[in-house]
Amino acid sequence: MIEFNDVSKQYKDGTYAVKSFNAVINKGEFFVIIGPSGSGKTTTLKMINRLIELSGGTISINGQKISEYDIHELRWNIGYVLQQIALFPNMNIEENIAVVPELKKWNRETIKQRVNELLEMVGLDPEIYRERKPHELSGGQQQRIGVVRALAADPEMILMDEPFSALDPMTKVKLQDDMLDLQRRIQKTIVFVTHDIQEALKLGDRICIMNNGEIVQIGTPDDILYHPANDFVRDFVGVQEGITNEKMNLEDIVQQTEVAPSNPFETVSVTTSLQEILDKLTHHDQVFAERNGEMIGVINRQAFIQYLAEHVQKRGHMNE
Ligand code: ADP
């Protein structure tokens, strides 16, 4: 558990990069921090592993202030993944992954097993990849190594700073899917910075929206979409303008059901606008879907949010 208590960061020139940040990130939670450029996301992240010192307030991990931890122990026990994969170019993949286990003086055999296990976990055959140099891997493969390196010594939590933003769209989606799958299996506490609302909706258990160093809203994807705290959030999510104009066939997310529609359920056409479905789902957990007058199943709110996260383009991309 990570607890922020009135945390702030003020620079010498008077700029508040982060102001009165209060939040509790639960064990095993996928916590996404999102906001426009300069809103304080990276500063917040780097204060957790003390890459940036706080100027006010406290951050505690499992009930102990981060200032009371030995700084090396603290950093070794928190995995860290950056946008620009900082793999060591002259070291092979095995050596790159083994950096923290080596620092922790694990024995050779344990390290080797761990490297194999991690490479297999992200679908890279150890026999092929263990001895390659970073430049012999694609961008997506290098980023996978960046992720497993952060996991190498089995840290309880992982900080990720726009880890997928430099990747092409297809690789990005693949790594997001892998990340979700990985998280289901390993249940780490993940703090993930992004400026991409689709990514946030797809990955986050909760999303923290920041602006000008302050938290604007913390909530589940559902909260953010259906109960935006203010116009900033509404605009940031871009729901209104982004989806009003889009007409899509929603048959992919319609779930077959044997249950006959009954009041007070709403019915929508699968070819209607996303905005209309969104509006109806504001008041109902699910709506019935019909095609050409024939009832074909239900659309539930969760499936719809997932659909938005994956299909609606250009929403919430601030000027970065
Ligand atoms: P984000 O990650 O959301 O893009 P940052 O956390 O990097 O934002 O930065 C937050 C704010 O702090 C920005 O306005 C940035 O200009 C400012 N900032 C960052 N580093 C310094 C510094 N060394 N001195 C003064 N201001 C800084």
Q: Please indicate whether residue 43, judged by its CB atom, sits closer than 6 Å to ligand 1.
A: yes
Calculate helix-pair angle for 139-151, 108-121, nearest 10 degrees.
130
Q: What are the tens digits of pLDDT across the range 80-104?
A: 888 776 788 889 999 999 988 888 8
CB of 39 sitting under 6 A from ligand 1: yes
Helix axes 139-151, 169-186, angle to 10 degrees: 20
96 CB within 6 A, ligand 1: no
Among 39, 46, 53, 212, say which to mutate for ligand 1: greatest number of ligand atoms within 8 Å of CB. Answer: 39
**Nearest residue by C-alpha to atom 18 in ligand 1:** 17
- Tens digits of per-residue pLDDT, 147-200? 888 888 888 899 999 988 877 888 888 888 888 888 888 889 999 999 888 899
Looking at every residue in the chain, the average pLDDT score rounds to 85
- Ligand 1 contact via 11 beta carbon (within 6 Å): yes
| pLDDT over 90 at 239, yes or no | no
> Are 147 and 129 a contacting pair, CB within 8 Å?
no
40-55 residue pLDDT tens: 999 999 999 999 999 9
Ligand 1 centroid, distance to 33 Cα (angstroms): 15
Q: Which domains does the chain have, with CATH numbers?
A: 2-237 (3.40.50.300), 243-318 (3.10.580.10)
Among the residue ranges 22-26, 232-236, 275-279, the one predicted with the least confidence is: 275-279
CA–CA gap between residue 93 and residue 272 (Å, rounded): 50
pLDDT attached to residue 183: 86
Beta bridge partners of 206: 31
Which atom of ligand 1 is the closest one to the Cα of 40? 6
- Is the predicted pLDDT of residue 242 greater than 60, yes or no? no
The number of C-alpha atoms within 13 Å of 200 and in the hemisphere containing its C-beta is: 29
Element (H, E) at 290: strand 286-291
